Chain A
């Protein structure tokens, strides 16, 4: 996918996502290295930088194997004097937390910008954690922009601050900043610093206790200096009457909601915009709050700023009232909404506020959860594995993981009994295997997630002998977040060729004796290999089944690029007996009941994967046209496995 806007002419105003505005700021600053692991809503930062690198020849950009490594990649470059940036989603910082905390002790030689894109509302995540706490916890300053234009400015300022105090800085984005497209005026591209020098200073780079104790003292001193700097930052500003008894503080995107809400309420109230919430810019905040009756804090996520400002007021002996999420004026879960902020401000000001009465339809829509795409190789895999489990009469636990295959949590697959965090499938399966007696545990994990955090769990299973079947769903890319490459893809972030590290080699290398590779689009092959693997588990082995087949979206775009025709499939209604296996058990979105008790295939949705033909018990589904053998090759199928096409 292209991001031409990241290279817009200096001075021009272009529409871009907040994430792309951050990428632009990195190029303007002259960042020499960028790393990350994909995750919604963060992915476009590294994607846009990779796009820029493919055009400019710089900076160095990579998708790393996980967030911890990504952090270390950028950290290593920054202590070697190259301004660097690392990007991840909020939960990714949990994975990177170890080096993150240490980086505050050592500091850096050149800028280190850590980007965390938080997901309030949990649009695409397992939790709603507010990563500003990480800044408080680790003594790393947090910069939090209000929108796309501000994201450019904030990222630039964060890079400058990091370079000035030689300390990492956390840029906290949220979904509505990352994924809102808005006009952004850009500046000139900077000269990148691509080569660095590492100065050996053992007392600084070696965190042995004796050094770390001294470094902690230095850290606290640096923290006071940073607090002073952010108190004078031009990113924190105030507008409106100086004498209003109520002050509204909008932190990050909270400022946008507060500003529009005040305008709609026609309220003459002092509005403070805070872009550097951590450490609390105390002098600036006191200057705005002293002498007022009350303060309303509008912030996305937890009441981080609200809590800190209360502490500050207590310390200086002020009894200004502080309202926000702790006081119940704003909801403590989900995203901010303009009408909620308007209601909260009206409440504090004692104004009447009525929400409009909402329209309601007499017809209720059925739920529409996200589903595996038509032609997704994983549908075929889950269908086949469930059949194998049934044939052996096993009572299994599916220990699930994070990725497209998470969608098998829904009916009819019900093949994700747990879904916790990246790599959790294999890790949890270890514990279950030791305590569940006869129940077989199947850990289902995607290829990217396997490289990310699945391998240590697998080694643990071999070492500590925890029999399980690990089903690796291998579609060749990190599909859910937009098809970013990983160590199994054969190419890298900048589009260059890369050494492929096949999952089966890793599995054998760590001592798994029972390893099977199956064609994902061939359910018979998957079923046969799952049967063998499950029998191996019954004998106390650890078994790995790799079901390989490309993400259908990638296969379709390659077919388009290489002019390979895709087949479409039709139902022979004289043969269809309405058994509904294809609809109810296989559940392809392109297949629906036709009304006469049989089924029909939607030719717009049908991708031509052909799996329905292979699973139909009555040979009632047929291709509508001749099939080009290259299409089967694209899907990773051998001609013999599909019965000659």
Chain B
């Protein structure tokens, strides 16, 4: 990454899905690559099952928040949250998201269907990859590794791969609790390009 370049990532999901953990992994891998990085987290009230979004900015950046319309990559752990944050996306930017909708816990709430949401996203000027991350993660034994599965995919198809590197992420994952499962999910996500819809 050239010294004057930057890369903006948005990680969107629901409280409890591992949004913060994923942002930390990217942050640690960036630092290990000798890059400047800012990870603006969401804590407290909003975390309790609510919409959570973390801004990760890598490179020549000073301010903690991704400007609207300038995210190069959005990693979506849930599709309604992808839609909610769509205004952050740069035209032609990448979205790597789980094929998952978690209806909000409000009685009688109207939730758009999976197909409608995916169709709406397809109509936009973004490069969309929707993969069944939580389904795969559940088969692996823990739905919480859906986040690193998505990261694997994002590393393989976007510039993030050349910025923080496959090996850089592997090193960070080795330091996590349950490294084997995380590594397995990450590598599977990296290779799992076949799920594109």
Question: A residues bordering B, Cβ < 8 Å?
Answer: 13-15, 17, 40-41, 43, 123-124, 147, 176, 179-183, 253, 256-257, 259-261, 263, 335-339, 341-342, 355-374, 404, 406-407, 410-412, 480-482, 583-584, 587-589, 592, 604
Contact = CB atoms under 8 A, between A and B. Distances in A.
Nearest to A181: B39
Contacts of A43: 43
A374 B48 CA distance: 10
A89 B37 CA distance: 26
Counting from the closest, the 7 A-B pairs by CB-CB distance are: A40-B44, A370-B50, A124-B44, A356-B69, A589-B105, A181-B39, A260-B62
Interface string B44-80: 1111111100000000111111011110000000001
A181 B11 CA distance: 15
A362 B110 contact: no
B123 A362 contact: yes
Contact of B126 (A182, A359, A365): A359
B174 interface: no
Contact of A355 (B68, B89, B105, B121): B68
Interface in B110-162: 110-112, 116-117, 120-121, 123-126, 138, 143
Nearest to A580: B107
A335 B112 CA distance: 31
A363 B117 contact: yes
B120 A124 contact: no
Contacts of A182: 36-39
Interface string B83-108: 11011011100000000000111111
A299 B30 CA distance: 29
Contact of A259 (B27, B62, B123): B62
B27 A359 contact: no
B162 to A, nearest CB: 20
Contact of A369 (B87, B106, B108, B124): B106
Q: Main SS of the interface on chain A?
A: loop
Residue picked from B39, B49, B86, most chain A C-beta under 10 Å: B49
Interface of B: 14-16, 23-24, 27-28, 31, 36-51, 60-65, 67-70, 80-81, 83-84, 86-87, 89-91, 103-112, 116-117, 120-121, 123-126, 138, 143
9 contacts: A15-B39, A181-B39, A256-B63, A260-B61, A356-B91, A361-B86, A364-B83, A368-B49, A583-B107
A588 B107 CA distance: 10
A372 B105 CA distance: 9
Contact of B38 (A180, A263, A411): A180
Nearest to A604: B143
Given A147-B38, A253-B64, A259-B63, 15 more contacts: A43-B43, A124-B45, A176-B40, A181-B38, A181-B41, A182-B38, A355-B69, A361-B124, A366-B80, A366-B103, A370-B46, A410-B106, A412-B107, A584-B107, A589-B105
B107 A337 contact: no
A373 B49 contact: yes
Contacts of A362: 120, 123
B120 A587 contact: no
Contacts of B109: 366-367
> Counting chain A CB atoms within 10 Å of each CB, which of B63, B105, B112 scores highest?
B63
A356 B91 CA distance: 9
Contacts of B120: 361-363
